[in-house]
């Protein structure tokens, strides 16, 4: 029983290591995820909010799929111990308070996933007004997290 | 008629600018896309190829959704003129030959999209052997593109 537990934990560590990697890798992976997210949210903002006359349904669907994929990718797995210090593509802006507020962070992450999944559904409808409204809800979850745990530039 | 064409082209440029941005932004966005892609392909490789005993169906489905979202995000829109020179997160490794081989690049991109969409479908089945096989097909399309247009490190 003890051996089995040890083996299971051992495999868990292998999986966790593969999943997240060293501190610098975790930071770079999350900066990449947010960079990819930002490119895709910019497309939705441009085409459904700022310049609806340029709306391209297929591009917005692809961008909303990307936003949902990022939201559901297990981002919190990239916030391991010590990742409030270090450099990925650039020095992290994560506040140390992140580790003191797991419930708040989880709540925001859950909202981000929920609203991003809803945006993915609504994008498929091609209704620009509805997309704009739902995009606003997704953006609010981004801002909540930035306000809570990201150092201002 | 001429006015209408000009207006249409003008809007097209607004959309293209929002879509891609200046050279440095295009390079950083594509490096982010590939960084996010790499994190997700690493999860699939770890769980379906190297350590199948750690296979977690939900994580692999999420990772395959991420790979498909990157493939379908319109990556070629991030390879505008001049983006063989410049620095995003780091200096680009794009060979100038990229711009001389549009048909080859398009063919590889089409294959990447096709194989990534297939991986997304197969991941949902939870069949580790089939995922491993299809993951190999996706990886081949990555390698084809690296061999064609990426400077070796």
Provide the ipTM.
0.88
Measured CA to CA, the distance from residue A34 to residue B115 in angstroms comes to 25
Does residue A81 fall inside a structural domain? Answer: yes
Distances (CA, A) of B141 to B43, B60, B108: 18, 19, 6
B5-48 pLDDT tens trace: 333 333 444 444 445 689 999 999 999 999 999 999 999 999 99
In chain B, alpha helices (H) = 2-20, 23-44, 57-71, 102-123, 128-149
Does residue B56 fall inside a structural domain? Answer: yes
CA of A78 vs chain B CAs: smallest distance (Å): 10
Mean pLDDT across chain B, nearest whole number?
A: 90
pLDDT, average across residues A79-105: 97
Does residue A76 carry a pLDDT above 70?
A: yes
pLDDT, average across residues A69-89: 97
B88, two tokens: 């995003």
Does residue A16 fall inside a structural domain? Answer: no
Does residue B115 fall inside a structural domain? Answer: yes
Measured CA to CA, the distance from residue A144 to residue A147 in angstroms comes to 5
Nearest to B111 by CA among B84, B145, B88, B81: B145
Does residue B7 fall inside a structural domain? Answer: no
Measured CA to CA, the distance from residue B83 to residue A66 in angstroms comes to 23
Domain span including residue A107: 21-149
Of residues B48 and A13, more confidence is placed in B48
pLDDT, average across residues A25-45: 98
Residue A2: its pLDDT value, please?
A: 38
Does residue B61 carry a pLDDT above 70?
A: yes
Does residue A4 carry a pLDDT above 50?
A: no
Q: At B91, is the secondary structure helix, strand, or coil?
A: strand
Residues of B in contact with A39 (CB under 8 A): 29, 32-33, 73, 78
Nearest to A138 by CA among A82, A60, A59: A60
CB proximity list for B23: less than 8 A, separation 6 or greater: B80, B82, B83, B85, B86
Does residue B119 carry a pLDDT above 50?
A: yes
Residue B81: its pLDDT value, please?
A: 95
Distances (CA, A) of B69 to A33, A61, B26: 12, 10, 18
Does residue A131 carry a pLDDT above 70?
A: yes
CA of A148 vs chain B CAs: smallest distance (Å): 24
A50, two tokens: 């700022």
Does residue A77 fall inside a structural domain? Answer: yes
Q: At B87, is the secondary structure helix, strand, or coil?
A: strand
B8, burial (CB in 10 Å: exposed 0-12, middle 13-18, buried 19+): exposed
Mean pLDDT across chain A, nearest whole number?
A: 90
Does residue B1 carry a pLDDT above 70?
A: no
Measured CA to CA, the distance from residue A20 to residue A12 in angstroms comes to 12
pLDDT, average across residues B86-111: 97
Residue of A41, A47, A69, A124 to mutate, interface with B, max B Cβ within 10 Å: A69
* Option in A21, A33, A54 nearest B15 (CB): A54
Does residue A59 carry a pLDDT above 90?
A: yes
User: Residue B75's domain is classified under what CATH number?
Assistant: 1.20.120.10
Nearest to B149 by CA among B81, B79, B90, B95: B95
Phi, psi dihedral angles at B108 (to 5 degrees)? -65, -40
pLDDT, average across residues B84-101: 97
Does residue B11 fall inside a structural domain? Answer: no
Does residue B4 carry a pLDDT above 50?
A: no
Please say whether the beta carbons of B31 and A31 come within 8 A: no
Q: How confident is the model at residue A153 (pLDDT cuts 50, 70, 90)?
A: confident
How many domains would you assign to chain A? 1
Angle at B125 between CA B123 and CA B126, to 5 degrees: 70
Measured CA to CA, the distance from residue A19 to residue A24 in angstroms comes to 13
User: Does A28 sit within 8 Å of B32, measured CB to CB?
Assistant: no
Please say whether the beta carbons of A22 and A81 come within 8 A: no
Does residue B82 carry a pLDDT above 70?
A: yes
Residue of A17, A18, A20, A88 to mutate, interface with B, max B Cβ within 10 Å: A18
Q: How confident is the model at residue B78 (pLDDT cuts 50, 70, 90)?
A: very high
Residue A12: its pLDDT value, please?
A: 40
Could you tell me which residues are beta bridge partners of residue A87? A91
């Amino acid at each position: 029983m003890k051996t089995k537990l040890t083996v299971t934990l051992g495999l868990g560590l292998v999986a966790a290591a593969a999943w997240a990697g060293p501190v610098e890798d975790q930071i770079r992976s999350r900066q990449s995820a947010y960079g990819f997210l930002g490119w895709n949210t910019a497309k939705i903002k441009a085409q459904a909010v700022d310049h609806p006359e340029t709306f391209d349904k297929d591009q917005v669907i692809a961008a909303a799929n990307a936003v949902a994929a990022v939201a559901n990718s297990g981002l919190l797995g990239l916030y391991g111990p010590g990742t409030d210090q270090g450099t990925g593509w650039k020095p992290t802006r994560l506040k140390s308070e992140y580790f003191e507020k797991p419930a708040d962070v989880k709540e925001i992450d859950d909202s981000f996933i929920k609203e991003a999944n809803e945006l993915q559904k609504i994008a498929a409808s091609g209704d620009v007004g509805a997309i704009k409204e739902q995009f606003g809800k997704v953006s609010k979850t981004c801002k909540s997290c930035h306000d809570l745990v990201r150092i201002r530039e």
